[in-house]
Structure 1
Amino acid sequence: MITQGLLIGVSLVVALTAVGLTVLVVVAKLARTHRERATEAALAPHRMPLLILGSGEDDDGAAMAHLLAVDHQAWRTVGPAVTAMLAKVRGEPVEDLVLVLREHGDVDRALAELGSRSVVTRARAAYLLGLVRDRSHVPHLLPLLRDRSAEVRLVAVRALGAIGDPVAAGDVLRALHSVRGHVGVPAFLAAEALLSLGTGGAAALREGLDSDDPTVRNAAALVSGHGTFVSSAPRLRELVDADPDPEVRATAAAALGLVGGADDVPTLARHTAAGEPVELRRTCAAALGEVGHPLAADTLAGLLADPDRRLAQIAADALVQLGPTGIGQLTGVPDGTPAAPAARGALQLARLRAGEGAMA
């Protein structure tokens, strides 16, 4: 049986714990406020030169000279502020800020810290090198794509994308693979980096389309489309036709719509047929609109009465994209037929868009 004394004791412990936690929170907040004020005070004499250099208005070089002359102790505060400014600017100010960082040894220090045992240190070093955008640093960053830390791998991919050297394309694609039992980098992140590498990564993308890993094939197909890598079109057709992964087939179809032409209409049209996966049918219909060739008109018109109303709407919108040939198919749909709702909706939307264009 619980005694009154025990209840009082428990209540007292709970109360003291609550008071202790409150005091701890207050002390932590006061300490943080003190640190922030100390940082602001230390940065104050250097803030204006930093702003001048970062805005590209250091015509007389005084701001550069001021920041280069900052002593080691003050640089512990000023250095992070320079890095933060570097992340926000473009053009000539980037070169000036990078020069300041180089002169204070931050870039060389970052290169050395890529091998640190600390995850935070490795990630911070990779981040800075990405901001510096020096292609000579790419070989130093590539090993981090296989780092045991997911955070470091993410930062390394972003850094390589920022640097933009196509030589990294194959390694970025391979970073999608699992590393030591850990999941690879997210596909969207790898795709963003690959798009930043430009057309020089075309060969690596074609290799990625042949990968045994569906995640790699999917990412390579996605980038092939959004980066308009026309050389990927033959392999994309094969993936649409026969890839064992449904997501890869759909992504390849969307990409083919962006990079393909009249020769790709039969492939895309074939996979709008009933019996194909729903997502693939919809994607192929939309891709036919992106290709924009009149040869697709009959196939798309045949989808206007499809039981999948979303597919019918996509087909109708795609017909609008074909121009006069597609519009003719839509206007020829009789009222009261199963195809009429999708056709009328697409025509109405096309008129609204045309009106907006005229007003613009």
Structure 2
Amino acid sequence: MTGRGIVNDGLQVLAGSAVVLLVLLVCVRAVRRERERRRERAAEPLRVLLLEFLCAEGDEDAGSLRALSALDDRSWAAVEPTARAILAKVSGQARASLVGLFEQRGVATRAMADLRRRGPVRKGRAAEVLGLLRHRAAAPRLRVLLSDADSEVRTVAARALGHIGDPADVPDLLACLHGPHPVPPAVVLQALTAFGAAGHDQIATGLDDAEPLVRAVTVEALGATGGVGWTTSVAAALRADPHLEVRIRAARALGALGTPAGLEPLLHAVRPGQPESLRAVAARALGRLGASCAAPRLGELLDDPVHRVAATAARALLHVGPAGRDELRRAADGARGGRAAAHARAALAEAAIGEGGAHSAAGRAAVGP
């Protein structure tokens, strides 16, 4: 046999193998789809039973609970994902009923055991369900998992602690922002925000932390949760913290807190010579503050050479009442022209479009279909 013949034979074998693999792949996908359809058909009556349980009252509630508690493992596995999804969205009696069902099924007990497993998938799932159940007994182990080698496990553990809502866990959440295995700041901020006012005292301990990232997340968390009692401390961070990111987040927090004590430091933060990113955030915060006395300073910024700062100031003026609108109209019609007039006209046009859409929607609602 010649070399060409050997090559041709090899190519034919490869082509045949590719066809066989393609057929096998199609068959495997078809089998998987059919299996999923069967699971869905089997799970549908169980989902109906779950919804009946959530809507039932008195003896009906007890009967549905007994029926769901008595499901075999395979049937429970089919309905549990739906139960978890509902648990994350409901409150009140519906939530209490679901928590009772999970306890009857021994879900919390198994999840507590899984927290100590080696596999990250099982640990992550266990942490997630314990957080949804707000299972306080899990908090000590979840705090350990904040430094787990797997990033997803760390993330889920932080979220779970936020759901559980014990302020005693706040120091561990702040500490996990740095170190060899840090948790993303956005995840920690979300967890801290879940504590609400109950966590303010513990969160505020991060204001004096040596790590800039901890201070930055702390001031933003206080702003997001309405920690008005710490406005003075947040303002001090805006004025004097040596790290720009902390100052930026402090400016954002002062806008969210909305107290008069934030006005002076924010006006100082928009002055020329301050970092561009800080000036833009501070201008937006002044708009959120809504103080009419900020209108002249924001009006001066309309002519700022930094486009981002000027455009932000123009939009902020829309939120400081009639004084802000007057400042925009003067800039749009005045002799300054140039950048100031362009930014003012753009903001006024944007406002007019928004108000026109709102009036149109209100008119349609009043007239009816």
TM class, shorter-length: 0.7 to 0.9
| 1:275 match: secondary structure | coil
Q: Note if contact 2:286-2:294 (Cα within 8 Å) is conserved in structure 1.
A: yes
What's the % identity of the aligned pairs? 37
Q: Note if contact 1:52-1:58 (Cα within 8 Å) is conserved in structure 2.
A: no
Q: Name the CA distance, whole Å, in 1 between partners of 2:151 and 2:40.
A: 33
| 1:197 match: secondary structure | helix
Q: Note if contact 1:304-1:343 (Cα within 8 Å) is conserved in structure 2.
A: yes
| 1:185 match: secondary structure | coil
Higher mean Cα deviation, 299-308 or 347-356? 347-356
Q: Name the CA distance, whole Å, in 2 between partners of 1:159 and 1:48.
A: 28
TM-score by length of 2: 0.84
Q: Name the CA distance, whole Å, in 2 between partners of 1:332 and 1:292.
A: 19
**1:323 and 2:321 are equivalent in the alignment:** yes
Aligned partner (choices 270, 274, 277) of residue 276 of structure 1: 274
Q: Note if contact 1:166-1:198 (Cα within 8 Å) is conserved in structure 2.
A: no
Q: Name the CA distance, whole Å, in 1 between partners of 2:203 and 2:6.
A: 70
The corresponding residue for 2:172 is 171
Higher mean Cα deviation, 57-66 or 198-207? 57-66
Q: Name the CA distance, whole Å, in 2 between partners of 1:345 and 1:74.
A: 60
Q: Name the CA distance, whole Å, in 2 between partners of 1:257 and 1:325.
A: 18
The corresponding residue for 1:102 is 103
Higher mean Cα deviation, 125-134 or 310-319? 310-319
Q: Name the CA distance, whole Å, in 1 between partners of 2:77 and 2:228.
A: 49
The corresponding residue for 2:159 is 158
The corresponding residue for 2:18 is 18
| 1:305 match: secondary structure | coil
Higher mean Cα deviation, 206-215 or 342-351? 342-351
Q: Which amino acid aligns with 2:202?
A: A
The corresponding residue for 1:67 is 68
Query: What displacement does 1:31 show?
Result: 4.3
Q: Note if contact 2:231-2:259 (Cα within 8 Å) is conserved in structure 1.
A: no
**1:215 and 2:213 are equivalent in the alignment:** yes
Q: Note if contact 2:177-2:185 (Cα within 8 Å) is conserved in structure 1.
A: yes
Q: Note if contact 2:216-2:249 (Cα within 8 Å) is conserved in structure 1.
A: yes
Q: Note if contact 2:270-2:280 (Cα within 8 Å) is conserved in structure 1.
A: yes
Change (3 A) 1:83 1:295: closer
TM-score by length of 1: 0.86
Change (3 A) 1:20 1:218: farther
Q: Note if contact 1:126-1:159 (Cα within 8 Å) is conserved in structure 2.
A: yes
Change (3 A) 1:328 1:71: closer
Which consecutive residues of structure 1, in runs of 5 or more, have no partner in the other structure?
A: none
Query: What displacement does 1:288 show?
Result: 1.7
Higher mean Cα deviation, 344-353 or 292-301? 344-353
| 1:219-234 alignment runs, 5 A limit | 219-234=217-232
Which consecutive residues of structure 2, in runs of 5 or more, have no partner in the other structure?
A: 363-369
Q: Note if contact 1:265-1:295 (Cα within 8 Å) is conserved in structure 2.
A: no
Aligned partner (choices 298, 301, 310) of residue 300 of structure 1: 298
Aligned partner (choices 227, 232, 235) of residue 233 of structure 2: 235
> CA RMSD, aligned part only?
2.8
Q: Name the CA distance, whole Å, in 1 between partners of 2:82 and 2:324.
A: 57
Q: Note if contact 2:287-2:316 (Cα within 8 Å) is conserved in structure 1.
A: yes
Higher mean Cα deviation, 69-78 or 113-122? 69-78
Query: What displacement does 1:68 show?
Result: 2.0
Higher mean Cα deviation, 115-124 or 154-163? 154-163
Higher mean Cα deviation, 121-130 or 70-79? 70-79
The corresponding residue for 1:199 is 197
